Structures are given as C-alpha cells and as structure tokens.
A and B are shown apart, each in its own frame.
Chain A
Amino acid sequence: MERKLLLEHIGVEGINTHDVYRKNGGYSAVEKALKTMSPDDVVEEVKKSGLRGRGGAGFPTGMKWSFIAKPEGVPRHFLCNADESEPGTFKDRYLMEKIPHLLIEGMILSSYALGCNQSYIYIRGEYMYVLQILEKAIAEAYANGWLGKNIKGSGFDLDLAVSTGAGAYICGEETALIESLEGKRGNPRIKPPFPAVKGLWDRPTVVNNVETIAAVVPIVNEGGDAYAQIGIGRSTGTKLISASGNVNKPGVYEITMGITVEEFIYSDKYLGGMKNGKKLKACVPGGSSVPILPHYLVCKTAAGEDRLMSYESLSDGGFATGSMLGSGGFIVYDEDQCIVRNTWNFSRFYHHESCGQCSPCREGTGWMEKVLHRLEYGHGKMEDIDLLWDIQRKIEGNTICPLGDAAAWPVAAAIRHFREEFEWHVKEPKLCMTKNYGLITEKTFETVKG
C-alpha cells in the first residue's frame, strides 16, 4: 500500500507555516512524547522501527542513538546534518523548504530522546535562502512554546539554532561537520573517539541527516512497529528519492521501500520513462559515489530477479553487479551519455572536494582526474585504464574518512562495467571527440575484469 509519511501534506497551502502545519496534525508527536513517553521509550520506538540513516550510510538510527555516552554533568548535543552535497541529491533542500516544521518537530523528539538541550541544524552555505526559511520556522516554534524552557510544561528544555557551512562537500562527513560547527576547517577527525563519546566541543554528540530526523515524527506518531510494517525486509518505511538525468519527470519522490526500479523509472506515477524515447544506458541509484550500473543491471539483478528500491536489493551482487541506495540520489543516463566523461566529471568533483589531509585522497583524486581527462580528450593510452584501476584501489580504505572511498567507487564501477567504452576512447581518439559510444553490450559477469 502506498503511504506518504513525510510529504503527505506537502501540497497543502501554507504548510511551511506553524499554524497550517499544526492544523494538519503537526507537533502531535511532540505532545505525545512529552506527555506519555520517557526519552528511552522514544529510543525504543526508533529501534523497533528499523529506521536506517537516510544520509547515505544506512546505519540503524536507534543503534546509533544508543551509543551516546552519558557522563554525569556533561551536556550532550544533537546535530542535524543539512549539508546535502552529494551530487544527485536534493531531497533535504526540498523537505526543509516546503515543510520546515517537520524537521523541527523531529529535532525536538530526537533531542528529547537523547537528553540534549542545545541542538543545531548545520546547513550548507549555498542553501542560505533555506536557512532563512528554517530560522523563521524556528522563531514560530519558540513563539508557540515548542522550543525554549519547560516545553509545554514537560520540564524539558531545548534551544535550537541553525548554523551555516560555506561550500565544502566534506562537511557532510559528521566529524568534519563538527569541526566546521566549531568554526574550523572541515577536516574529518580520526575515529575513535566517535562523536557519540567526543563530538561537538568534545561533548557526546549525535549527528543525523535531515530525512532521518523527519522520519522520527511518523515513528513516534504511529509507533515503531507500524513503521516497520511499511517497506520490505530491513528496508523499512519510506525513502525520499532525488531523481535527475534523462527522464521525463525528474524531482523528489517519496517512495515506499521495495517498489521495483522498473516501476520507478518507467511508470507515470514516478519518472515517466526516458526523455525523448531514448534508451536507458546506465543509472547511479544513490548519489555520485555509489557504483554506476549498466542498463542490464538496473531493473534486474545479475540473478535475474527484479531490482527493488531498497538497501538490500540495490546492493545485491555486491560491487561486482550491484550498487547502493546511498542518499537516494538517482541519476539516469540515456544512450547519448558518455561514461568516460561522466567519470571524469565525478573525479573532478572529488578532487575539488578532497580536504587534503590524507595523501591517497589528496594526490589520488587529482591523478585520476588527470588520467580521465586525457582519456576523454583522446590522448589516453591503453595502460591508463589499468593505471586508473590501480589508483582507485590504493585510495579505497586508506583514508581517514569515506571521501576516499566515494572517489574510488565510481571510477572502479565505470571500468568494471564500461571497459570497452574506455578502450574505444583509446582506439578512436578522434571519433571519441565527436561521437558517443552509445549502449554497451550485455556481458556475463565472469568476463568482467576486477
């Protein structure tokens, strides 16, 4: 059954204001929690819900919450990661812009559950107009007694403020976000200690993504068990998907986990099929860092089963024939797109965004960009393809934070599935400047290198 848990009221006129949000059932979860639930009850419902982090990693939220240290007399902090910067992802902006009080309500619930009295939303600097929307909504929430001292007579105090980044993808990594919120460069920290023990100002801290926090609202309203009934297997609930690329209806969609990828791409309810009647060439289902899938692995897994929009199904086959749900940044490529160019573009992104702390990432991302550039512009050699493979392999797993992996995976997947297109660029250096390779042929997995 189709359920909208986050965007149900998105079409209601004025839903961005407190009064309309309230009329449509807003803040009832806060009322319920403060009146009838202990903080641990809220944590318990979130655990039961099976909610997993919506920022990309998919880590169980309830478990992450249970790690927070509670030393006597030390304040704890709850932070919202609104640094949405993964190419292909724009769902958090949509949610914050259209229905800011949902995030605020989720922040109150989560802060109550974790015993935090001072919480922050860290938003990327480029979303400055969204920051203003949030600040307005926060002021309304204070004015209506949902924030501040002794919220609705419960004895629970919460102050909530928004702080800003200034253009750095790396600040979406939670320890870089914390550094940035302390007014420093966004260099990720070495873990352990994890933020749950030493986070913001060395105090116990939990960082969650915007969508994850918003999902706590329906979980508290309807109960963790009811939430867990929605979706499929360990992919419970609904997920916001940001769809872009060569499709008829790009945009933000709230889907029930477990619908088929085929339905998502081709039905009129969702993306409405490929633009201009072109053929599907490839798809990046979870933001730029997840492995790209060739057309024959998008709607079906290597085992021939329907590919579903869920954590498990999208990663079915591992990196050999699968990918990841990631942040839900769903990028669709038609037959006219060049995989080498796209891979070069993504490598340039990661090179630009590397913080420079770890040599494999700082040097490797730039090196990959350079090699991909010469391949794309017809100056590549056959050895360059193996060289790229070698560089990405030496970045992956060898850096402080996952940006190194995020830079390596798209390159590895492109070579794994589209090697013949890379080779064509070397063999046809002139032709590749005027023409695109088109669709690749389907191959059996055994012949795929790597």
Chain B
Amino acid sequence: MSQATLRVQKISGHAGPIPGEGMQREDQVCKLVDTTTCIGCKACEIACQEWNDLPFAQTTFDNTYQTMPTTQWNFWNLIKFNEQPKEDGTMMWLMRKDQCMHCADPGCLAACPSDGAIVQYTNGIVDFQQDRCIGCGYCITGCPFNIPKFNPTTKKVYKCTLCSDRVSQGLEPACIKACPTGCLHFGTKDDMKDLAEKRARQLREHYGFENAGVYDPPGVGGTGVIYVLHDATNPEAYGGLPANPSIPWAVRLWKTPLRWLGNLAMLGGLVGVTLHYLRFGPKTVHNGESEKRS
C-alpha cells in the first residue's frame, strides 16, 4: 500500500460492523526476532526512538545492561537481558527484544472503550490513535505482554506502531532496518514463520539446542512479532515472555457477551468501574530485572 493511509479491519469500542470489512485482501506483516543471534546491542532501541522522535528518558544504573525495567510511553522497544545458568556450570546470556506483539486478537483493542482509539489494519498492525484515546488505561489491562504505557502529561497511552508510517510507504520498520546481526527480520507472516521454523530446525540439528522452537502464541490468535527461542519450552526465561498469553477474562466478557452493554451509555460507567478495578487493582508486572541482585 503506497499511500499515507492504512485500511482498518478492527476498531476499538466500535458498535456495528467495520466499514468495508473483507472487501480487499492484504498480507499480514510480521517481525521475526531470532533471540539466538541477538547480541543485545540496542540498535533497535535507538532506531525506534530516533525514527519516532521520542524524547529521551533519564535512566539510572540498575545492576544490569538492560536500559530500563520495562517499556515506557516514550520507549517502545526494549531489550531484556537475562543471565541464565546452565546445568553444566556454563551459562547463557539471553537477550530478547520486547515490544508490542501486534496480536491477531489484540487484548488492548478488545478492552478499549473509545471508538477508534485502537485499530488493527488489514496488514495486522495494531495502532493507537491518540486523538481518540480517552486515557482510561483499559488497554493496559487488556494486554498480556505489559506493553502500552500511559503518559501522565498528555493523559494518553502509547506503544510501538510497528512503524506504520514507514510500512505504509513501503519501508521496513526502523528497528528491523537497524539490527546489525539480522536477528530481526521483516516480511509476511507466512514467510517469517517459514524462516523461523528453518532456523529452529538448524538450532536443533547443528547447534545442540534440542528445544529450539518458535514462539507464536495461539492464546492471542498468534502475533505479528514472533520469536525463535533456544528453548521454546521456557519462554519465561527470556525476561518474562508469557508461556500462554491470553486476553484477561473480564476483557473477554466485556468484549463478547456483554458487548451490547457498552453501547448503552448508562451502563458504560459500570463497565468502566469494573475495568478500572482490573487496571489499577491486581496486575502482574513483568519487570525483567532478573539480573538484579539484592
């Protein structure tokens, strides 16, 4: 698509059908992250910040090579570093690029009550439209990967756009282009799956990683970012990558059987209270500070 717009296939908080849904076909785009060739250089972190003109954050040394504990509203792409001892006394130093997974079934979009604040394009990119964001933060609750982050100044939520501006112009995302080792790759979902499976097989057959495999979790319908892991049986070791991510039950509830309620303004507040509890109540924080010693 070589125009400054992207076609939409899912819209948050939207009553009724999606205009033009299913009228045109388009390939799903996908990022492949091969953690077995990631050197944690953080080129992707800076490429992301530079391309998106994000203001630089003040960070503090935290006993790790990791730039900060989690992504922030102005830091969408973070390498998570984990020292992993092995049984034979040697060790691994796992590095994983953390960012929006661009789920096929996005929990953020499902949770969002504001019409059009979160959209999913027909190429699979999940994008936030900040002019429609009401700052409720429900998307944060809906995300099983702890990605969207709230900016208290603008009262809006931000995350990786998968460089939708670049992709719409026929360019690859900024992080992909920068990656020095080629551990990041970009293409159609089918091609990336194929490449990932081949790499996992190579790791099993030639490099002794018996459990090497591909991470493309079905709980969220598969993702627009997939990983090759040395040990696909233990994604949690890679800075808390959830083994079986899914959309929280309350969001599911709101999204499906009770969705009609959302169209009734008088009940909107009730739903809001429920979601607010979920948002600011119990909440798992994947803070990736596994190198931290105390």
Do A and B originate from a single complex?
Answer: no
